[in-house]
Structure formats: structure tokens, C-alpha cells
Chains A and B, each alone.
Chain A
Amino acid sequence: MTLELTIAIIITVVGASTPILIAALGELVVEKSGVLNLGVEGMMLVGAITGFVVVFTTGNHYLAILLAAGAGLATSMIFAFLTLSLSANQTATGLALTIFGTGFSALAGQGYSARPVTLLGPLFPSELATHPIWRVLFGYSALVYFSLAMVFAVWWFLKKSRAGLILRAVGENDHSAHSIGYSVVAVRYGAVAFGGAMAGIAGACFPLLLTPQWAERMTAGRGWIAVALVVFASWKPFRLLAGAYLFGLVMTMELYAKAGGGPLSAIPAELWAAMPYLATVIVLVLISIRRDASSNAPACLGRPFLPSN
């Protein structure tokens, strides 16, 4: 394998991993507050169509990212209102949100398919990335650096900040947190909003970073992988980074295997395509066997909070 090819693969892997990483970081914060939002895929699709339409009409990529975040956040508020204010079942509401997002994005995207836009270019000037090696470090768009910065930011927030401690406390024991005097519902609203914004940005990655056009269901189940990845990483941001890149690698391998030639095509492309999902199942089984890892799960995950007297 030549140096050129290796570097091309690395860059593809990073690109493919970024939306999963961003969405999963958002979901991680949501779950740490004790809420299970299965609507990530739906919020991503809303973000994707918003990002596409904005960049198609204005040509401004950063505005597209910002508005995609807003659209994801707005979508997540439907979920928050139903589950937090009205105490609806989180699993069912999350699934409904995904169905809603899929339908809404398809409706809003009518007439936009097969119309090209431009991808978001690299953040740093190309002089920095002349040599192939430098491209590995400086050849990406702002979204990639944003995702890496967010890994650190989320870790710092949860581990070091007082607000993060309160968020974990709410996810761990909502009734105790309530009795000490923290507003469980407000904290969870905040967490769900953050998760929605992150999912929106993750969705915008598809038209802005990967394929410069709109296609129905273009997120192709990555939202579900993000949800699985949070468990996979046992709610730890840096493990999430490793997990996202592992999935990105497997998905890139699939592309190369489909392109034919080389040692990768020894395994059928269908198997490569199934690989991320197989890996999810295997990892979930391994984690369940190792009890202590799953004990990292927030104790109130998915349970509605009903304050008693």
C-alpha cells in the first residue's frame, strides 16, 4: 500500500467518522442526564435537509451548520416537551421522532434531489497541507476539528465542571437531585437541547462534508450507530472517539472493497456493509458480560421523572 493510498484512507475514515462522533457526543450528554433519546436519526435528517437548503440558497457553509444545529435543537424540543413535561415514554417518543424526521426531511427536500452544492473546504490554507503527511493533520474542514474539540469539551464538562456534576447527579438519582434542590426537568431540557443541536450538525455533515447533494434518508442509519456507540463507549467521551473512528474505518473498508481489487475484496461487499452493525452487536454482548463496564450507565436512564410530593 502506498503512502498516498494510506493517507487517502485515513482522510476518508476521519470524514466518515465525524458525523457519528458529533451525534454520539450529543447523545452521550443526553443519556448522562438520564434521558434516552432514540430520535437521533430523525434529528440528523432534519439537520441534513436544513444544512443542504441553506447552503444551496446562500452558499454559506457556516450559516448552514448554524441553522442545522438550530433545526436539530427545535426538533429535539418536541421530544423534550413530550417526555419531560408530559412524562411520555422515552423509547416510543424517540422512535416517533425518527419517523417524523425521516418524513419531514423527505417532504422538505422535494425538488432538491440531484442538485449539486459545494463541499465545505479545508479549514487551513492549502499551503499548510502541501506534503501528504501534513494533509493528515491540516487537510480537514472545520467540522472535523469541531468534533475533536467537542470530545475534549464534553469530557471536561462532565468530569470537571460543577454543571456537569449536577447533570450526572440528575441522571444518576433524579429524586435525590430534586430533594437537594436541583431542577431535574430543566437540566434534562438543557441536555436534550444540546443533543438535538449536535445531531443537527451531524446531519449537516452529510451534504456539507461527504456527498454534496440531497438524497432522502441520506444519513443511512448512522444515527442508530451513534446511539449504539454511546453504550459501546460506556458513556466515556474518549472511548467514543475511538469507537467512532473504528466504525468509520470499517465503513471505509466497505467502500474500498466495493471498488474492487486488492485484498479487501476477498470478503464480499455485503459482509463489509454489515460489519458496523455486527460489531455493534458483538460489543454490546461483550459489555453485558463485563458487568462493571455497564454499571457506568446512568441509573435513571430512560425513566421518566415524576416528583413525589
Chain B
Amino acid sequence: MPNRLELRGITKQFPGVLANDHVSFAVKPGEIHALLGENGAGKSTLVKMIYGIMQPDSGEIRWNGEPVLVPNPKAARRLGIGMVFQHFSLFEALTVLENIALGMDAKIPSRELEARIREVMQTYGLLLDPHRTVATLSVGERQRIEIVRALLLNPKLLIMDEPTSVLTPQEVDQLFTVLRQLASEGCSILYISHKLHEIKALCDTATILRGGKLVDTCDPKAETSRSMAEKMIGTGLKDIIKPEGRRFGEPKLVVNGLTTRKTGDFDVPVTDVSFTVRSGEILGIAGVAGNGQNALLDALSGELKGEEREAISIDGRAIGLMDTTERRRHGLCAVPEERNGHAAVGDFSLSDNSVLTARDRLGMVMLGLINSGAANTYTGKVIADFAVKALGPAATAGSLSGGNLQKYIMGREILQKPTVLVVSQPTWGVDAGAAAAIHQALVNLATAGSAIVVISQDLDELRALSDTLAVINMGRLSASRPLGDFSVEEIGLLMGGVHGEEAA
């Protein structure tokens, strides 16, 4: 049986960058093949050429053993190549059915299309009401629309571009079930990701790219996460260096009986949350998405207006009624989960984004006028210290890739040397090298005497980073205890809580 897809010596040159340098690999029928690499390793360029969005400069694409040209996505779909993009192009105000109809090449009567959609959904357990409006659907449900749209064309190869970066652990499990079923029916899957534990759990083969070159093709089940990560970033993965014999100082952040109100239909408020973080301490807050993490972050940052003065205090000063600006002035900085649009304004330059959060702490505004020199200098320092790939302080935040924007945002807060730093999902969607740099910067900040709260769904991250750990479930926080006191099973049970689901 010939290979479903084979690439031979694919090369693509962009101005100044060799995006793909003689890449060759093959995907067998029914194989789940991982394409692994850091941000900028050339994964996206490669799949864009397979899907016909771009053309290779040289090299050959073979489909079922025959050399083919893929001039556009339509041609790719005709061959039997389907693709699910990382960012969905859906119409929020339209229904599921209308969205799928818009994306179909052939004009199919809507009743017939609906019947086929229902059939595909039934076969793969992708349950959705075709008449629901997209705006009412969760991210996982939206992804199902894209998958159904791809499956309607009976693809022989399905390309998934970082499909799990926006999903909850439960949704990831459901997605994997669907992908395994597809593979068992003979459909090949090209799975792009940098989440190593997922690749170990799902994929049969992994092709690793670095700087546009193919580094290795290996069996992920025979490798360790660490060995694959090292191939990805090219050097040995640095462990977080935690100075020996660190001692925790005075309590810096004291939260006592913090309760928030429900603000929306899908919002989980926090109830009677109490904890203390000392100088030099990193407190990890674990939990499955949607258990009150957002409310907790907003209540701590001051975005959600507090009602009790004594509920939160820094350095013994009650700040429960203060707004975000005042809290920042008193030394509490916060980084929300959503990078673009919440932590940073996409259309603003990095320099202006620095002014937004650092103006008071670093004196960037005098007599109502912005000191742009100070803002530029500070932003330049953030870019240099955190190795942010950006054209300079004048680059807009929206022009940065997700990982680089996250490095900038973390750097912007950390270099302000806050007394207390609260961060949510500090390394979500960030590649291994950048994640390690962010982790180290957080540890260094703690070592210098700050108190840090890390809210994350990634248990590996929390176990590497935290000194103490607490688990949030349905808006309630467990007592915080030293990390060593917890077994993985115990954390899992606490995270599962009322949900009764296995922890990721």
C-alpha cells in the first residue's frame, strides 16, 4: 500500500527566512502523525503547502504514490485533504447549518445537507444542534463544527492545527476519541502541536522540525517528553533553578473570605476563598477550566469591584475596595488569561501597552503627559530581557505571535517588581523554550522577595513551579499546603471534585 502523503525535499523561502529546508516525510494510511516544533519552526508553512494555501519553491508532494500539484485549497479538498484551523472562521450570528453550508464547495440543498451533517455527527459522537446559533456555543463545540465540515468531504487526510490549545481537558478527551475512530477507519491524521504529553498519548509517529529543518522522525511512545522537547529546541531543556534553602518571609498577600457575585450565565463566582502568600512564595492554584479561575483573577486584580475592604490585603494594608490602578500602585499586578484584548490592546504599540499597566509604578506619566522616552526604554528592556521576537517597542501587540506576546506581557509585569503578582495560564500556547524562560523569571521574582499566585490548568507547570498548592473547584478553594504534601492522585481528586472527572 503506498503512502497516503509523502513530501520529498519541500523547500520554501520567505524574504530573510528559509521557512522549510528540504523537508521529507511520509504519512501512512490510518496513521496519526504528529508534526512537532516550536513556534516559528515551519510547521504552519509546511501544512499550508499541503493544503494548497502556499506553493513550495521546490520539492514534491506525492498523494497515494502519485506526484500531485495542489494549487489551492479547493484542489486539496478534491484530493481528500481536510483541514481544521487553529483559529476558526465562523459566523457568530449564523447557525451551525448555515456556517457549514457557506463553507461547502458544492451547493447542496439545506435539507439534504442537514441530513448528512446529522449522519456524520451520529457516527462520530460529535453532538451539536445544527440550528443553534454559533454565538451560543463553547469553543469546543465550535471546533466540532469545523471538524464536521471537514468530515463531510470524506477526507483521506485530516490536518489538525494545534487543535487542543483552546480546549478543556474533557473536550480534549472527546476530540482524541473522534480522531482515533477516524484513524481506525483508514483516515490519516496530521496532528500539529507542541504539547508533548498529548502527542505521546495520541500519535503513532512524530516528525520534529526545528528552524525549518527536519530534525527527527520518531515513535513518540518510545521517547520521553523530555527527549522530544530537547529535539524541538535543539539544546538541553533547562530545569527551573530554584535556589536551595529559600525561606518565606512575611505574609504579603492575605485573602480572607473573598466572595464574588455571579456576573453572567457562564460565569462561576468564587465563594469564601481564603489564602495567604508569603514573601518569596509561589502559590499554585490548580483546577479544571471554568471553576471560578476567572472570577478569582478579576477579584484579585480589582477588575471585579470588591465589596469588603478586609477581604484582600497587601503588606497588611486592606485593599478590598480599591480599583485596579490603586492596587497596582500598592504593588499588586495581575496578568489575565486572555492575552490579546484583555492583557494587551492588539492595535496599540508595545510601548503604549507598557504605559497602560506600568505608568504609575514607573513614572511614565507626568502632569498628564506620557513620557514616551521612558515607555520606549522600558519596553525595549522587556523585549531584550525576555527575548521577545518583535520589531521593537513600536510594533503593535497584535503583530506578535501568541508566545511572543505572552513573553512581552509577563516581562512587562515582572520587571515592574510587584510586591504581589497574580498570573493566569502564564504559558498557555507558549512553546517549551519560552515557557521555561517565563517559569525561570517567575522563580527569580519570588527569590527577590515577591509573592506570586499562579492560576493554571497545567499540572506539570504547577508541580514544577509552585511551593504551595491549592485546588479550585466550583468556586471554592481548598486549603493551601506545601506541594510535597500532595500526591498526584490527591490533586486529581480535588480537581475532579463534584465533577467526578479524572484530572488531566
What is the minimal beta-carbon distance from B399 to any residue of chain A, in angstroms? 11
Is the beta-carbon distance between A169 and B91 smaller than 8 angstroms? yes
Residues of B within 8 A of A41 (CB): none
Residues of B within 8 A of A165 (CB): 94, 98, 101-102
Is the beta-carbon distance between B91 and A173 smaller than 8 angstroms? yes
Say if the beta carbon of A298 comes within 8 Å of chain B. yes
Residues of A within 8 A of B103 (CB): 180
Nearest-neighbor residue (CB-CB) of A176 within chain B: B89
Out of A166, A175, A177, A299, which one reaches B93, CB within 8 Å?
Answer: A299
Is the beta-carbon distance between B93 and A172 smaller than 8 angstroms? yes
Residues of B within 8 A of A179 (CB): 89
The count of A-to-B residue pairs whose CB atoms sit within 8 angstroms is: 40
Nearest-neighbor residue (CB-CB) of A166 within chain B: B102
Residues of B within 8 A of A176 (CB): 89-91
Is the beta-carbon distance between B94 and A172 smaller than 8 angstroms? yes
Is the beta-carbon distance between B93 and A180 smaller than 8 angstroms? no
* Contact (A299, B92) CB under 8 Å given A162-B107, A165-B102, A180-B102: yes
Say if the beta carbon of A168 comes within 8 Å of chain B. yes
Per-residue 0/1 for B70-110: is the Cβ within 8 Å of any A Cβ (1 yes, 0 no)? 00000000000000000001111110001001110001000
What is the minimal beta-carbon distance from A179 to any residue of chain B, in angstroms? 5
What is the minimal beta-carbon distance from A210 to any residue of chain B, in angstroms? 37
Say if the beta carbon of B135 comes within 8 Å of chain A. yes
Is the beta-carbon distance between A168 and B92 smaller than 8 angstroms? no
Say if the beta carbon of A288 comes within 8 Å of chain B. no
Residues of B within 8 A of A162 (CB): 101, 107
What is the minimal beta-carbon distance from B148 to any residue of chain A, in angstroms? 16
Nearest-neighbor residue (CB-CB) of A179 within chain B: B89
Say if the beta carbon of A295 comes within 8 Å of chain B. yes
What is the minimal beta-carbon distance from A293 to any residue of chain B, in angstroms? 13
What is the minimal beta-carbon distance from B30 to any residue of chain A, in angstroms? 30
Residues of B within 8 A of A298 (CB): 93
Is the beta-carbon distance between A172 and B135 smaller than 8 angstroms? no
Nearest-neighbor residue (CB-CB) of A165 within chain B: B98
What is the CA–CA distance of A179 and B90 in the complex, to the nearest angstrom? 11
Say if the beta carbon of A126 comes within 8 Å of chain B. no
Nearest-neighbor residue (CB-CB) of A172 within chain B: B91
Interface residues of A in 177-207 (CB under 8 A from B): 177, 179-180, 182
Q: How large is the interface on B (under 10, 10 to 19, 20 to 34, 35 or more residues)?
A: 10 to 19
What is the CA–CA distance of A296 and B92 in the complex, to the nearest angstrom? 10
Residues of A within 8 A of B91 (CB): 168-169, 172-173, 176-177
What is the minimal beta-carbon distance from B73 to any residue of chain A, in angstroms? 9
Is the beta-carbon distance between B89 and A169 smaller than 8 angstroms? no
Is the beta-carbon distance between A168 and B94 smaller than 8 angstroms? yes
Residues of A within 8 A of B90 (CB): 173, 176
Is the beta-carbon distance between B92 and A169 smaller than 8 angstroms? no
* Contact (A180, B135) CB under 8 Å given A165-B98, A165-B101, A172-B94: no
Out of B93, B102, B107, which one reaches A296, CB within 8 Å?
Answer: B93
Nearest-neighbor residue (CB-CB) of A296 within chain B: B93
Is the beta-carbon distance between B93 and A168 smaller than 8 angstroms? yes
Is the beta-carbon distance between B92 and A172 smaller than 8 angstroms? yes
What is the minimal beta-carbon distance from B87 to any residue of chain A, in angstroms? 10
* Contact (A169, B94) CB under 8 Å given A176-B89, A179-B89: yes
What is the CA–CA distance of A168 and B92 in the complex, to the nearest angstrom? 11
What is the CA–CA distance of A21 and B178 in the complex, to the nearest angstrom? 51
What is the CA–CA distance of A169 and B100 in the complex, to the nearest angstrom? 12
Per-residue 0/1 for A126-168: is the Cβ within 8 Å of any B Cβ (1 yes, 0 no)? 0000000000000000000000000000000000001001101
What is the CA–CA distance of A177 and B93 in the complex, to the nearest angstrom? 13
Residues of A within 8 A of B107 (CB): 162
Nearest-neighbor residue (CB-CB) of B91 within chain A: A172
What is the CA–CA distance of A162 and B90 in the complex, to the nearest angstrom? 17
Residues of A within 8 A of B98 (CB): 165, 168-169
Residues of B within 8 A of A175 (CB): 89
Nearest-neighbor residue (CB-CB) of A182 within chain B: B102
Residues of A within 8 A of B93 (CB): 168, 172, 295-296, 298-299
Out of A166, A168, A180, which one reaches B89, CB within 8 Å?
Answer: A180
What is the CA–CA distance of A180 and B100 in the complex, to the nearest angstrom? 11
Residues of B within 8 A of A182 (CB): 102
What is the CA–CA distance of A296 and B103 in the complex, to the nearest angstrom? 22
Residues of B within 8 A of A296 (CB): 93
Residues of A within 8 A of B89 (CB): 173, 175-176, 179-180
List 13 A-B pairs, Cβ < 8 Å. A166-B102, A168-B98, A169-B94, A172-B93, A172-B94, A175-B89, A176-B89, A176-B90, A177-B91, A179-B89, A180-B89, A180-B103, A298-B93
Q: Residues of B at under 8 Å CB distance from A?
A: 89-94, 98, 101-103, 107, 135
10 further contact pairs, Cβ within 8 A, besides A162-B101, A173-B90, A299-B93: A165-B101, A168-B91, A168-B94, A172-B93, A172-B94, A173-B89, A175-B89, A177-B91, A295-B135, A298-B93
